[in-house]
Structure 1
Amino acid sequence: MIATVTQILFIFVFLLLLLGALLVVSDAGARRAFRIALHRRGARLRPPRYAIVGDSLAAQCDWRPLRRRPFDVLRLCLGGATLKDIGAQIVEARMMGARCFVIDGGLNDLLFDAAPLAQIDHDFRALLRRLPEDARGVLMLAPHVADAAQAPRIDEMNRLMRALAEARGLAVVDLAPQLSQDGARRPEMTDDGLHFSPLAAKLWVQAARERLLRDGLA
């Protein structure tokens, strides 16, 4: 017996929902790829509640506390991302309808690319211009690393990024008091001097969520 069009559509939708459910409990990369693939095929998905854009610090965090329903959180953050890369992540997120962002970045530019402050200023301004006009969200300032000698440069970058973000209407969160002491990351807050320990990652997400709640965005 030949299946009717309605039956075929029902089976397709069922399989799609089943695949989505499996990916909900899978890794973030699979969920991201699945959502992007659906978007590019023209599927009418509910826009993500939050887009997480940034580098490895954001990528290693568990953002599920922000989620109310599956696919509420769109994670585009990637290890090694520079400010230019994060700007591209924002473009991808806004194509999917994202209007609320959690943003981090800058350490790769500063520490690994040895970018001067003028370059960081230029690239961060360009990043902000890629946000939707009605965008809201939180900028997570770059944390200190284990090497206290880097603190003055990180602080200088953070002052610049804070001023630009606040002028754009974004909230700013600085976790330096919790994560570092005398300009150096606390030993319990890092596994390698740069990245987060599980405790630091938890505090990072909690601080972002609390600020979103305060601003009526969660």
Structure 2
Amino acid sequence: MTAEKLLFLGDSLTEGGDWAAWFPDDEVINQGVGGDTTADVIARLDDVVAADPDSVVLLIGTNDFAQRRSVEQVVRTIETIMVDLRRLLPGVRLLLQSIPPRGSDYSDRIQDANRHLRQFAATVRAQYLDLWPALATGDVLNPDFTEDGLHFTEEGYQAWLSELRPGLERLRDEPPMSRPISIIRPSESA
């Protein structure tokens, strides 16, 4: 397996990961920022482009729900992030991860958003990784994986990695895109 420049993009869940230790054969960039929402990630896309990664691993959206954004707002903004990444970095491999579970009051909206994101990923030639089965107990984040109902313990990160490692192997099997693809931005659709 050849070394890649692997960029992790997201909020505090990403920021808290020890990605360089977990993927020692790659050049790892952690662009997780605590408290970030989907809009914050859009504002930071120039940093992602400047890093010129081979692969981008995105996990974002839980803070949007905490700020009472609608499923449609969250989905559309994540779609915009993915479209912009594909346009700005046409050769990059993209891995979109599902928004992880948290408390039961968030469950229906997060699962609804994840259904839309799963369907959307292929339109930008991204792979989708569903973390819900590995992290949830019923409709909440497994209490063994968290101390506050949101952030992961070491056990939570290990459960995430149990899905992420094979997901990244599948992603690496995909050839990089050699040319841009035409995409209608979500805001342009009729």
Instruction: Provide the aligned C-alpha RMSD in A.
Output: 2.1
**Deviations, residues 177-216 of structure 1 (Å, cap 9, x unaligned):** 2211220122101110111111111222342222111232
Output the amino acid matched with 2:119: A
Look up the match of 1:126. 80
Larger Rg: 1
Cα distance, 1:89 vs. partner?
Answer: 3.4
- For residues 47-78 of structure 1, the C-alpha deviation after alignment (integer angstroms, 9 at most, x for no partner) is x6111100111111111222315xx0111111
Change in CA separation of 1:191 and 1:137 when aligned onto 2, cut-off 3 Å: same
Matched, 1:74 2:18: no
CA–CA separation in structure 1 for the residues paired with 2:94 and 2:16: 19
The answer to whether 1:152 aligns with 2:145 is no
Structure 2 partner of 1:87: 42
Aligned to 1:191: 147
- Which structure dedicates a bigger proportion of its chain to strand? 2
State the distance in 1 between where 2:43 and 2:162 align: 26
Q: Does 1:98 align with 2:34?
A: no
> Which letter does structure 2 place at the counterpart of 1:141?
S
Q: Is 2:96 aligned against 1:139?
A: yes
Does the 8 Å contact 1:53/1:89 carry over to 2? no
Are the structure 2 counterparts of residues 216 and 125 from structure 1 closer, same or farther at C-alpha, using a change threshold of 3 Å?
closer
* Number of positions where the alignment pairs a residue of Structure 1 with one of Structure 2: 168
Measured against aligned partners, the alpha-carbon deviations of 1:149-191 in whole angstroms (never above 9, x if no partner) come to 3211110111122222232111111122221122012210111
Unmatched 5+ residue regions in structure 2?
175-190
Q: Moved runs in structure 1, 4+ residues, more than 6 A?
A: none
TM-score by structure 2 length? 0.80
Highest RCO, 1 vs 2 (Cα 8 Å, sep ≥ 6): 2
Q: Aligned partners of 1:203 and 1:90: how far apart in 2? A: 28
Aligned residue number for residue 71 of structure 2: 117
Question: Normalised by the size of structure 1, how large is the TM-score?
Answer: 0.70
Contact 2:72 2:113 in 1 (8 A): no
Distance in 2 (CA, whole Å) between partners of 1:209 and 1:56 is 20
| Native 8 Å contact 1:100 1:135 kept in 2 | yes
Distance in 2 between the 1:169 and 1:210 partners?
Answer: 18
Structure 2 counterpart of 1:210, from 166, 170, 173: 166
- State the Cα distance separating 1:217 from its structure 2 match: 5.4
Structure 1: give runs of 5+ residues left out of the alignment. Answer: 1-47
Equivalent residue of 1:95, what SS?
helix
Aligned residue for 1:172, secondary structure, equals: strand
Partner-residue secondary structure (3-state), 1:130: helix
Q: What corresponds to 2:182 in structure 1?
A: none
8 A contact 1:55–1:81 mirrored in 2: yes
* Whole-angstrom distance in 1 between the partners of 2:6 and 2:65: 26
2:109 is paired with a residue whose SS is helix
